[in-house]
Amino acid sequence: MTAMALEGVRVLDMTHVQSGPSATQLLAWLGADVVKLEAPGGDITRRQLRDLPDVDSLYFTMLNCNKRSITLNTKTERGKEILTELIRRSDVLVENFGPGAVDRMGFTWERIRQINPRIVYASIKGFGAGPYVDFKAYEVVAQAMGGSMATTGDADGPPMATGAQIGDSGTGIHAVAGILAALLQRERTGRGQRVNVAMQHAVLYLCRVKLRDQQRLAHGPLAEYPNEDFGDEVPALGQRVRGWSAGVGGQVCAGRPERLRVCDRPAGRLEADQRVDRPAGAGGGS
């Protein structure tokens, strides 16, 4: 059988909740040996959102399957000795503690690379360098600060978070890209490096095209729609800022979520009885 891409790569997983575990899980799926380091009481998500008593929650298992787990008290001298040895034997270290937490354990980047010059040390934080660097974040905070909540929902409604976990798992994917690039570069240099990923930056990257749409639509509807191909229907989102059109109202055709019927009314939420049952020209209308 062909070896998996990351076979032989050991990952020391000091992550919890979702953004970090989603990254290390991807590395495990690619063949890495992921050793998850948990506090003596176990990862907090083992007990969160349980649907069955006295078992690990689905929230924990769906993000941490295909890993090995150990518990370790890093506040004790013996715990610090074991952590030092784990770092020495690992290719990658991933953590998503609050800002400065690992440094306060006594494991700064300077010390970590002294222990193991080849290690790739990846950190996931809420924010990058700047005024918010010491702030924590979670999914909705990342979506709000990254701009995606301004691109979701009705034009005349409040900001809305998307159900897709772009702040947590989206950041985890970005972290994996950085880790893989660092491992590849290590093949040429023989040295590990630091990888820093901010949740705010990841969200901004994922919604940057929609923010571009908002900037463009602020100058008026797109001249490309309607046209000879679409008539009085345009592709959904073709003229929209957030949930509805800029400057014109829109009605989503039932059964055809990819189509939007343009109508002469201010942008905003339409009442249910005003919605179109079928595309224009198909025997019905608004």
Give the active site residues: 168
Type of residue at 180: L
Neighbours of 124 (CB within 10 A): 26
Evaluate whether 168 touches 139 at the Cβ level (below 8 Å).
Answer: yes
33-38/10-14 β-pairing: parallel
Where would I find the beta strands (DSSP E) of the chain? Answer: 10-14, 33-38, 68-71, 92-95, 120-125, 194-198, 233-235, 240-241, 244-245, 249-253, 256-263
DSSP SS3 for 27:
helix
Q: What does the longest C-alpha to C-alpha distance in the chain come to? A: 78
If we measure between CA atoms, which residue out of 71, 65, 68, 69 comes closest to residue 25?
A: 65
Structure tokens at 28: 């495990």
Phi, psi values for residue 221, rounded to 5°: -60, 155
Which among 23, 10, 13 has a CA at the least distance from the CA of 90?
10
User: What are the backbone dihedrals phi and psi of residue 68, each rounded to the nearest 5 degrees, phi first?
Assistant: -100, 145
